[in-house]
Chains A and B, each alone.
Chain A
């Protein structure tokens, strides 16, 4: 048996070097991607085993130290260690990166993308390693190393097709947003160092920092990590980056990378002492806004991947609602809220990671087969691509929070926690927090509408446009990740009753509160019968499915056109489009998302050909971020004077700076 810390370290190293051998091969070589994928699979397997072992080891209370290497900076070292929270996120990282690299074997073939396949593989491995460093970091210096490496490798991944203008724009915006967040984090960690005199992630005590100082740290954390997580209104970089990246990169970005923002928030709020009520309320409010408007924006998208990206914002919102609830529970010293809120949030992190990567991979399969991301150009994909359609259906049902899939259980826990805020006997009440319940329900309903649109328009009906190639299901390297993720998504939904109590340790350590085992047991008690009910539901679903299959195979049937109310010449163009399906809901929310449409006016009896066009602008980006930055750019234009493009003048700058330094210091 290997030691778990060695396992994790080797997983880290394997992942970071996985793309390097391929650099020495021809750019069209088909061997290189297999080497990279095998390294990633080894790294992922080893890493998962290591994470599970470490989680078991540190369940007893002590962290597992991986490595500590002094850096040539005062008080700083490169230190990695595992605690239950890190192990929890590590599992997600290694799972998605492994499956993603397998998927990339067919999705991003070097023969089809000779210019950037090597780059993609290199940074995919590096991103995985950096993500792992972020969650393993024992101090803020190491954390920032990982964070920066993660941001930069993700930038190169988003900008994989850097010969395209729109891809470059999305990449730059991601990089700028990412660094704005990093700036906030630098400030926060520097302030923390000033207050404590060390860089370690150790809980701060209330005699070390004043409440106002703690609130400053909290706001910086919320800004820096919220930007990475895509919490509204800091989400503006996210849809573009997710849509422009190759699909397995979107999967790891949406499934894992944005969760690093959540990880950071959980980690930081766990270090800060005595959260006042407004922290939790603020997180809860932001989460609610993200959950509702993320889904409304998702509804109105025409691009399959942008739709999924906005749905990620909604899910981050749900996670934030759970976290906000847990923070409120800490402020009011109520373990029940903490357990339900934080367990729900963390489980939703896992669940969203599973179903969103599943959805992105399935969407990528469709895009790979049809070469279009536009929902309204697709249709009828379920027939040629049954595996993909099934995987997308599992992902979509899970994203809607439908039982028995995994998304249901985490949302259930959060709902349960929110109902507790109404004031049960023997518990404090905060009825204001219960506004999140209808909001969550609203976003759930919008999610169902949204995925009915995504699944119905893309996979059902008949193709809306003739395609150059007949689409077909992918081969096994690309199909296997879909199958694995679907299976895990379903089983995690059923097994939550046995997983959730294991998060008790994380909740207790995070909140600094202590409670009886009986409280935890009674709080999570409803999960056990729920699990059995879900198994029953799954069983009946399977039974109905098999029965239908049997019936279809044994009874003769004929294919006809849909009944057209007596209309005899239906064409594929008469089908509902994605736009028309959601038009009503989008117009309901028109006050907030400001859809733009160009509608033809039909006056005569035999109108000429006309077109309808609609679009939903990204309001935060178009109305706030872009104008502010344009104005800033104009103000700062005179800085261009410094850039003279002459070596001689640059040398003079250096001399002048040296002279200033010599005379001042």
Chain B
């Protein structure tokens, strides 16, 4: 496994996290999520690269198909659906977060720092310890949580879940040898179904309420 190859990609991923936190336009956020998905799909085969065995092991049909499926799903299908929902629901393009953009950006940076420090203290295997992989995974998960908890719109909620899942996938790259493809496909499908269902709910909410927003759930409170 040659993880040093993927470090530059991981840096880009981290930067995309910050953009998601600091940007207020919904289409941009969706685009960033898509971009993250594409990058993940691209680095996926690299993690299977064994320096001693050359590239033979990498170019298997199954691996390529999986990477392609990941790119299509995360980079095209799911963002496409989100964008469609965004258009259909006639939301304002600008989000209205509970926590201001600058504040969330700062919090995100702080979180990433903490995660870096935290992962350096984790009892990792020697070959994983020096890489960006674990910190990137943890801070992406953290970013996802931050988006989930500080944003108001249902669409940003979905985006938050996708970011969260991206973080989990990055973490999963560590375990590619141990984890069968099937598990990863399963995770992918889970999220896909989740997005699908949320899309439907969003449509329904849209039909009954003047503007969709998790604020309205508050009226269900006793």
Contacts and interface: CB of A to CB of B under 8 A. Distances in A.
B218 A651 contact: no
A609 interface: no
Interface string A611-652: 000000000000000000000000000001001111111011
A649 B149 CA distance: 6
B203 interface: no
B217 A646 contact: yes
B74 interface: no
B214 interface: yes
Interface string A431-475: 000000000000000000000000000000000000000000000
Interface of B: 98, 145, 148-152, 157, 214-215, 217-222
A640 B222 contact: yes
Contacts of A430: none
A655 interface: yes
Interface string A646-665: 11110110010000000000
Contacts of A651: 145, 148-149
A645 B220 contact: yes
A200 B1 CA distance: 51
B145 A645 contact: no
Contacts of A644: 218, 221
B222 A648 contact: no
Contacts of B157: 647
Contacts of A645: 217-221
20 contacts: A640-B222, A643-B221, A644-B218, A644-B221, A645-B220, A646-B217, A647-B214, A647-B217, A648-B98, A648-B148, A648-B149, A648-B150, A648-B152, A648-B214, A649-B149, A651-B145, A651-B148, A651-B149, A655-B145, A655-B149
Contacts of A640: 222
Contacts of B152: 648
B13 to A, nearest CB: 21
Interface of A: 640, 643-649, 651-652, 655
Contacts of A648: 98, 148-152, 214
B145 A646 contact: no
Given A646-B214, A647-B157, A647-B217, A652 B149 contact: yes
Nearest to B99: A648
A543 to B, nearest CB: 67
Nearest to A643: B221
Contacts of B149: 648-649, 651-652, 655
B23 to A, nearest CB: 19
A658 to B, nearest CB: 10
B222 A646 contact: no
Contacts of B219: 645
Nearest to A648: B149
Nearest to A647: B214
Contacts of A649: 149
A649 B221 CA distance: 13
A651 B148 CA distance: 7
Nearest to B151: A648
A661 to B, nearest CB: 15
Contacts of A655: 145, 149
Closest 8 CB pairs of A and B: A645-B221, A645-B218, A648-B149, A647-B214, A651-B148, A652-B149, A651-B149, A645-B217
A128 to B, nearest CB: 35
B218 A646 contact: yes
Given A645-B217, A655-B145, 12 more contacts: A640-B222, A645-B219, A645-B221, A646-B217, A646-B218, A647-B157, A647-B217, A648-B148, A648-B150, A648-B214, A649-B149, A655-B149
Nearest to A655: B145
Nearest to B149: A648
A472 to B, nearest CB: 48
B149 to A, nearest CB: 5
A317 to B, nearest CB: 39
Contacts of B217: 645-647
Contacts of B218: 644-646
B3 to A, nearest CB: 25
A89 B179 CA distance: 51
Nearest to A653: B149
A652 B142 CA distance: 12
B186 to A, nearest CB: 19
A648 B145 CA distance: 9
A196 B220 CA distance: 47
B222 A643 contact: yes
Contacts of B145: 651, 655
Contacts of A647: 148, 157, 214, 217
Contacts of B220: 645
A239 to B, nearest CB: 29
B143 to A, nearest CB: 13
Nearest to A654: B145
Nearest to B221: A645
Nearest to B148: A651
Contacts of A643: 221-222
